[in-house]
Amino acid sequence: METLPADQAAVVSPDLPLRANQSARENIALIPLYQKHFDAEEASRQARTLLEQLGFASIGDKRDPDMKPAERFVAKLARALILRRSRLIIERPGAMLYDIPYPAFLRELAARYDGAPATWEVFDFDWNRPLY
Amino acid sequence: MEFLLNFVERTGAKAVGWWGATFGVLAFLAEVLSTLARPATWNRATLDTIVKQIYFTAVQILHVYLIYVLAISWVIITITLSTARNVGLFDAAAEMIIRVLLLELLPFLTALLIALRSGSAINTEVALMKVNNELDALSHCKVEPMQFEFLPRIAGGVVSVIGLTVLGSVLTLLLAYLAIYGLSATGLSAFSTTISSVFSLPVLFGLAVKCIFFGLAVTTLPMAAGLETPKKLFMVPVSVLRGMMRVFLALVLIEVLSLALKYI
Amino acid sequence: MFKNLHLKVGLFVIAVLALALAFLVYVLHARGFFEQRLHLQLAAASAEGISPGMPLTFSGMPIGQVTSVNLNEAGGIVIKAEVSKSGARWLRTDSSFNLDKPLVGGAKIKISSPDLSSPQLPDNSTVLLLVSDPTQEIPLLIERVKNILANVEHITRQDGELNGTLANAKTITARMSGKYGVLEGVLGSEENARPVVNSLKNLEGLTAKLNEVSAKVDAMLAKTDRWLFAADGVSEQSKQALVQVRAMLADAQGSLKRVDELLKNAVAISADVKDGTQDLAKLRTDIDDSVRKANDLLNDINRMWPFGGDADMKLP
């Protein structure tokens, strides 16, 4: 485990769940809507675009309990990305992506995404090093 | 001596606990009001969520509520009329019905219904949000849950208590008229006079203020109780229990205060 | 789904707002907010029992209300009232204003216009408010009942007129049953005896009525216990007065019974009772009058008690 991320970092973590009674798109749209004060339609459009870019446009209307681990992870990742912070930290991906080979999955997602930040920092347990 | 010391200590702990809870509620209320006053709050998204909350809190139970008002009003009107007839105070019956049902019983029962249905749901939801770290996640994203989670529920609660009370009151007035004068327009002027003698402008204003306070009580108190929940799943029922107990105390307190202001 | 939801909430909110607004307008209308009103000043010696909001009624229909009760600079009472324009047309210059304070129920100001052809009462006029309070009148009435019953007692007392008459009757009877004057008494018996018999029958009826009166007083006492007494002991005094009244009635009744007894004797023997007949007729009228007066007053009291029964009682 590393030190706690600074305020400038956007974090994807098992400890930061999605809002359970809202769909993935609504969860992502919360940020442009309430932090950057876009109107509801624009915020929703931004969220949809981001999900499409990551290749998961289909999860937009699903809520947390209905998503597979990978889908849930993507929703969380999109929520962190849309914050547009200078660093992106993924904490213990193994705890969120327990049913797939996650290093490859992460690389695939990173390749699809072309916005800032360009590099994603992954914090994982030391014993998982051989996986990467 | 030991016993006495223990007693004092326990009393002190209780007082501190109560003070903490009261302070928490008041601080929460202050935050609600400051959010209300911020112009940025009033965008389309907030209005949409408020509309959704009004739907869930009031419109969804409208038919149930009206049936329930119909039953209670009918019973009370019938009892009042027959008793008034027996003791020779029939002239006062209409006023008695209006005073008891419209000014006191209906607002109170409406608030109680909303508290039981929506208040408990709000309390559970907020407690679960707290326990599941959802609130932490939102604060990490620098999104205030106040604007899209709390405020719409409070606004929905207040609007629902007022709205349901208004609809229920109109229904009760119709029922009272029918019970007293039957299907004819003959009693209209006498009935109007009774209504106007009860509903002076201060009384109407007081009724509106009471409904607003009822609405605030049945939503903010469960929310504040939910926010106080320790991050342990088994504490959720305890939190709901505490929240609902506080709601009940607050409703009784508001009712007693309003009666005291009106009649003392 | 979302559109539908908005529609439903919209309907709900619009219905609530419309009903609330309609109710507000209705209440304002009913309170005469949109109506021109006639203003009155009522002059009274005391503002006791008068409060703002008290209704003014004409023939039992509310037409206005008291708006304020104040003291003026000189310490006088200023009672202001408003009457709706529709109600104001019943107000005449000779209308009387009476404060009506029933024992149970709200007080009101009763307006009566005896002559509807007299001129209309102008705006801002000052009228006299008459105050009548049954709770204050009851002790007075009871005082009067007492006097009347004292009168009855006076008539029937040991050395009173009735006894005198009866003594007279006794003497006559004695005379008739004596050795000498047997026939004197029987002369013209048909004509002479009839009024006597009639009178005596009446007396019997009277006794029965007195019984009724006494029963009424009893009933009233029971009522006193139930209602007046409960309403913060207004009438401890009244109650005692009624107890006295009852005692006196019992007394009077006792006397009349004795009279009855003796007179029956007298009739049985039936003699020249000319003198006696006249006496008895006068006596009967006396008692009759007294009892009627007492009865009227009792009825009065009964009427003022809010839960009174029938108020008619015919005398022979």
pLDDT at residue B119 is higher than 90: yes
Average pLDDT over residues C180-186: 46
- C117 plus C203 within the same structural domain: no
pLDDT at residue B109 is higher than 90: yes
A40/B140 CB distance under 8 A:
no
| Domain end marker among C97, C132, C167 | C132
pLDDT: which is higher, B55 or B40: B55
Using an 8 Å CB-CB cutoff, list chain C residues near B93: none
Closest to B143 (Cβ–Cβ): which among A17, A31, A40?
Answer: A31
Q: Is residue B34 part of a domain?
A: no
pLDDT at residue C5 is higher than 90: no
Q: Residues 51 to 90 of B: which have CB under 8 A from any C CB?
A: 51-52, 54-55, 58-59, 62, 88-89
Q: Is residue B143 part of a domain?
A: yes
Using an 8 Å CB-CB cutoff, list chain C residues near B64: none
Average pLDDT over residues A14-22: 90
ipTM above 0.90, yes or no: no
**C in contact with A (at least 3 C-beta pairs within 8 A):** no
Range of lowest pLDDT (B81-95, C19-33, C144-158): C144-158
Put simply, whether B45 touches A (Cβ < 8 Å) is yes
Which residues span the domain enclosing C83?
Answer: 35-132
Q: Is residue C51 part of a domain?
A: yes
Domain chopping of chain A, boundaries: 9-131
pLDDT at C258: 64
pLDDT at residue B234 is higher than 60: yes
Average pLDDT over residues C146-161: 74
pLDDT at residue C171 is higher than 70: no
B166/C20 CB distance under 8 A:
yes
Give the containing element (helix H, strand E) for C79: strand C77-84
pLDDT at B45: 82
Using an 8 Å CB-CB cutoff, list chain B residues near C52: none
Q: Is residue B166 part of a domain?
A: yes
Q: Is residue C1 part of a domain?
A: no
- C119 plus C161 within the same structural domain: no
Closest to A79 (Cβ–Cβ): which among B136, B141, B144?
Answer: B141
Using an 8 Å CB-CB cutoff, list chain B residues near C19: 166-167, 170
What is the least distance, in Å, from the CA of B196 to any CA of chain C? 5
What is the least distance, in Å, from the CA of B159 to any CA of chain A? 23
Angle of helix C134-156 relative to helix C161-177, nearest 10 degrees?
A: 30
What is the least distance, in Å, from the CA of A35 to any CA of chain B? 6
pLDDT at C199: 61
pLDDT: which is higher, C45 or A47: A47
Q: What's the number of domains chain B is made of?
A: 1
Percent of chain C surpassing pLDDT 90: 5
Range of lowest pLDDT (A57-71, B120-134, C13-27, C180-194): C180-194
Q: Is residue C295 part of a domain?
A: yes
pLDDT at residue B261 is higher than 50: yes
Q: Note the pLDDT tens digit of each residue in A123-132.
A: 888 888 888 7
Distance CA(A116)–CA(B24), nearest Å, equals 40
Distance CA(C85)–CA(B149), nearest Å, equals 54
- C177 plus C221 within the same structural domain: yes
Q: Is residue B145 part of a domain?
A: yes
pLDDT at residue C223 is higher than 80: no
Query: Which of B48, B159, B166, B188 best probes binding to C when mutated, by most C CB atoms within 10 angstroms?
Result: B166
The pLDDT-based confidence of C315 (bands split at 50, 70, 90) is very low
Closest to C62 (Cβ–Cβ): which among B88, B193, B200?
Answer: B193
Q: Is residue B32 part of a domain?
A: no
Using an 8 Å CB-CB cutoff, list chain B residues near C31: 196, 200
Range of lowest pLDDT (B108-117, B246-255, C242-251): C242-251
Average pLDDT over residues B88-116: 91
Range of lowest pLDDT (A106-110, B108-112, B121-125): A106-110
Average pLDDT over residues B84-107: 88
Distance CA(B192)–CA(A28), nearest Å, equals 56
Average pLDDT over residues C131-142: 69
Using an 8 Å CB-CB cutoff, list chain C residues near B193: 30, 55, 62
Average pLDDT over residues B30-59: 88
- C69 plus C156 within the same structural domain: no
pLDDT at residue C231 is higher than 50: no
Using an 8 Å CB-CB cutoff, list chain B residues near A43: 45
Average pLDDT over residues B8-26: 90
Q: Is residue C14 part of a domain?
A: no
Instruction: Please report, in angstroms and rounded to a whole number, the separation of the first and last CA atoms in chain B.
Output: 44
- C150 plus C175 within the same structural domain: yes
Average pLDDT over residues B145-168: 92
Range of lowest pLDDT (A23-32, A42-51, B238-247, C133-142): C133-142
Give the containing element (helix H, strand E) for C139: helix C134-156
Examine residue A117 and say whether the peptide bond preceding it is cis (omega within 30 degrees of 0).
yes
**Other CB atoms within 10 A of residue C204 CB:** 17
Put simply, whether B45 touches C (Cβ < 8 Å) is no
- C128 plus C166 within the same structural domain: no
Put simply, whether B193 touches C (Cβ < 8 Å) is yes
Q: Is residue C21 part of a domain?
A: no
Average pLDDT over residues C253-276: 59
Q: Which residue in B68, B69, B62, B63 sits closest to B171, CA to CA?
A: B69
The pLDDT-based confidence of C300 (bands split at 50, 70, 90) is low
Most confidently modeled range among B31-40, B251-260, C194-203, C233-242: B251-260
Most confidently modeled range among B38-47, C135-144, C255-264, C270-279: B38-47
Give the chain C residue nearest B191 (alpha carbons).
C30
Range of lowest pLDDT (C80-84, C222-226, C305-309): C305-309
Question: What CATH number is attached to the domain comprising C106?
Answer: 2.40.30
Distance CA(C104)–CA(A131), nearest Å, equals 93
Average pLDDT over residues C124-145: 75
SS (H, E, C) chain B: CHHHHHHHHHHHHHHHHHHHHHHHHHHHHHHHHHHHHCHHHCCHHHHHHHHHHHHHHCHHHHHHHHHHHHHHHHHHHHHHHHHHHHCCCHHHHHHHHHHHHHHHHHHHHHHHHHHHHHHHHHHHHHHHHHHCCHHHHHHHCCCCHHHHHHHHHHHHHHHHHHHHHHHHHHHHHHHHHHHHHCCCCCCHHHHHHHHHHHCCHHHHHHHHHHHHHHHHHHHHHHHHHHHCCCCCCCHHHHHHHHHHHHHHHHHHHHHHHHHHHHHC
Give the CA distances from residue B205 to residues B117, B134, C18, C68, in Å, rounded to whole numbers and listed in that order.
27, 40, 17, 21
Using an 8 Å CB-CB cutoff, list chain C residues near B199: 27
Task: Judge whether B243 and B222 are in contact, CB under 8 Å.
Answer: yes
Structure tokens given for A33: 């809507």
Enter the DSSP assignment of C41.
Answer: E
- C220 plus C106 within the same structural domain: no
The pLDDT-based confidence of C263 (bands split at 50, 70, 90) is low
pLDDT: which is higher, B75 or C57: B75
Q: How many CB pairs under 8 A join B and C?
A: 62
Q: Note the pLDDT tens digit of each residue in B173-231.
A: 999 999 999 888 888 888 888 888 888 888 999 999 999 999 999 999 999 999 999 99
pLDDT: which is higher, B106 or B89: B106
Q: What's the number of domains chain C is made of?
A: 2
**B in contact with C (at least 3 C-beta pairs within 8 A):** yes
Distance CA(B51)–CA(B153), nearest Å, equals 10
pLDDT at C224: 54
pLDDT at residue B22 is higher than 50: yes
Give the chain C residue nearest B204 (alpha carbons).
C24
The pLDDT-based confidence of B46 (bands split at 50, 70, 90) is confident
pLDDT at residue C191 is higher than 60: no
Which residues span the domain enclosing B96?
Answer: 45-263
Task: Judge whether C16 and B163 are in contact, CB under 8 Å.
Answer: yes
The DSSP result for C146-184, as a single string, is HHHHHHHHHHHSTTSHHHHHHHHHHHHHHHHHSSS-HHH
Using an 8 Å CB-CB cutoff, list chain A residues near B127: none
The pLDDT-based confidence of C311 (bands split at 50, 70, 90) is very low
pLDDT at A2: 46
Average pLDDT over residues C244-268: 64
Task: Judge whether A123 and A15 are in contact, CB under 8 Å.
Answer: no
| Interface residues of chain C, partner chain B, Cβ below 8 Å | 5-6, 8-9, 12-13, 15-16, 19-20, 23-24, 26-27, 29-32, 53, 55, 61-62, 65, 104-106, 306-307
pLDDT at B151: 92
Range of lowest pLDDT (A13-27, B87-101, C115-129): C115-129
Mean pLDDT, chain C, as a whole number?
70
Closest to A40 (Cβ–Cβ): which among B44, B128, B132?
Answer: B44
pLDDT at C283: 63
Give the fold, CATH level 3, of A9-131: Rossmann fold (3.40.50)
pLDDT at residue B76 is higher than 90: yes
pLDDT at residue C257 is higher than 80: no
**Other CB atoms within 10 A of residue C140 CB:** 9
Closest to B45 (Cβ–Cβ): which among A15, A17, A40?
Answer: A40
Structure tokens given for A89: 């930290």
